[in-house]
Structure 1
Amino acid sequence: MLVEVAKTPSALSTHAIFVDAGYVHASAGLLVAGTEDRRSFDLDTEGLIAALIDTARTIFADSRLLRVYWYDGARRRIHTTEQQSVAALPDVKVRLGNLNANNQQKGVDSLIRSDLETLARHRAISDAALVGGDEDLVSAVEAAQAYGTRVHLWGVEAAEGSNQAEPLRWEADSTRVFDLDFCRPYVTRRPVTTYENEGEPPPSRDEVRFVGARIGAEWLTARGPQAMAELLTGHPYLPGAVDQDLLIEAERMLGRSLRGHPVQRRALRDGFWEHLRARL
């Protein structure tokens, strides 16, 4: 589906692309690989960014690219290896929000609004291509439009339902949706890990509990006391993303699958929580 209107006519036009990486990973992963979990697939970020630049070059034919802004989350706003690779690409600026204890992005929408509004206010861009879907971005669109910048909302085809807020679509000057054929070359599902000894009896509860405590210690060192305090508010329930990370790391350390072993899974969580609660 494609709805577009006339572009800003000017020989001196400049455009920029603003990408919510969390939205892209979730929507493209679900569409192509059937999952929003980043650990389950690889995203060819360089190839995707090049495709977005080419698309913009076609749409804004009489305009030059200022740069691509890539917004993502990271613990303590420290670049991951993947984010460092993106930052090294020409004409790309990586902007980082934070990740809380539940692996949720925080501060990304405000970064997008700040950049959009600043560039529009200084007449640095005439057109902005915004790749995202969060309703919180409506204020960013309104802020840029108030200074005369046209905002074009780009999205990824929804696997089902919709992955863009209707108020955001209503506010944009034009919309474009990238379909499965466009996204497929940039998403590769990772192979599922199998273990040679899966038919053997599972490890003991004590062994798994000990591993859970070790992972809890590593988690606390990496995340810090504030993240621990946030996580403990939900005790005894672990957020899905944290629970999945715990399971994957435990299976790596044990060299064994814990799928289908609920007793061991509970022991793993118990060990994780016991370490954190002992540090209160």
Structure 2
Amino acid sequence: MDWLTEIWSVDDVWWLEAWIDDWFLVIALAFFVIELLRYAVKKQVTRNLLGDSLANFVTLAAFITIVAIVAAAYVGVFFYAYEFRLADLPISLWTILCCILLADLAYYWEHRFLHMNGFGWATHTVHHSSPHFNISVAYRHGPMDWFFPLFFYLPLALMGFHPFVIFLAEVVVQVYQTLLHTETVKRLPRPIEAIFNTPSHHRVHHATNKEYLDKNYAGILIIWDKMFGTFAEEKTTVRYGVFPRINSVNPVKVFFSGYMTLAKRLWHAPSWGYRWNLLVKSPRWAWQQEQATKPKA
């Protein structure tokens, strides 16, 4: 088992992360083509589907542009926190695997946080707003998606994991998540479904069905949802999207839809207390308040 503890260099970690980033995008695009062929065979290719898929990749480009602008500051925060680390953890396959496990747990809580308050949901709603579910949806990003992970992954630097190891762990979790956005794969063998997040579990997460709301936040391991009481099994047909629906494939409208909706709600709010609740309470609360005040037909 010496290979588990063999010391890696920072360059090795950087090379692995770059290799995953470069090749996985190619693999994901190839898989998306396969999905389009599946839609074609089933005669489900529509202008809305194609426009929505294009919008997904445009939001990805916008997100990458923002990340490029803030990247230096983002990386710098991790290296600054690393100066106050509690331990000097070596870079080895063993510590990388441990970091991935902890990053996966951090992802669960970050993901859950984004669903539980209005400010976080305003960026995350972009990812959920598509009425379709294919691998292009995995690239549908909101303008602040880079910001919130910082607070959940930063403790890993304080624990002693090198920032580059943390970034690699983030990439691994995100790459795994990307593969879950498909209707092509139905159910995997039961042992896999019991331990790992799967397309079936993630379809539940994207559902608007009442019984599926706020379920299955997991990244790689579905056991987090089972441990913390947020697991639901896919049993009925899933309906995708958000409330209120965007009903647009305009990438600009898609990208800023969450914060535009939040801004309108804040502007028309009846009091400052209501505005505060819009920011800190779940989007389900805001939706229920709007439905309660609508005039009955």
Q: Tell me which interval the TM-score lies in, with the shorter structure as reference length.
A: under 0.3
With normalisation by structure 1, the TM-score equals 0.23
Give the TM-score normalised by the residue count of structure 2. Answer: 0.22
In terms of fraction of residues, the more strand-rich structure is 1
Larger Cα-atom Rg: 1
Higher RCO, Cα 8 Å, sep 6+? 2
